[in-house]
Amino acid sequence: MNMRKDIHQNSRDSYRDFRGAKQSSYRARIWNLYHETGRPLTDREIMQTLQEIDPNNIRPEITRLKQDGLLMEVGKNKCPVTGKTVRIATITNRVYFNRNERPEQPQEQLQLAF
């Protein structure tokens, strides 16, 4: 039996909107924090400033911001809490955008290099 057929379309739409809003919310808050501080930050510094206790709400979004070219890694540091080497990131010169509103890539980036 396919359980997906039993879910009403309104429920699917609501869930998709909720997930999108939550991701956009974290995304915007994280990017704004980098932008407002004007300095490189670690994931833990972001977590502490946003008063977020679950790193799984922060780290993946920082990675997505990096993949989208809005953040870049600029170094590594030893975390004073865990003793592990962690990334330090900062914003790039790109204008912020929500992930679901991703601007089209310039044509020259779409060409394959041989």
Task: Compute how many other C-beta atoms are within 10 angstroms of the C-beta atom of residue 65.
Answer: 23
Domain 9-96 carries which CATH code?
A: 1.10.10.10
pLDDT in tens, 32-84: 999 999 999 999 999 999 999 988 889 999 999 999 999 999 999 999 989 99
pTM comes to 0.68
Going through 10-114 in order, the beta strands assigned E by DSSP cover 41-42, 71-78, 85-91
Domains of the chain by residue range? 9-96
Residue 39 three-state SS = coil
**Angle, vertex CA 55, rays to CA 90 and CA 15, nearest 5:** 100
pLDDT in tens, 88-112: 999 999 988 887 776 665 434 434 4
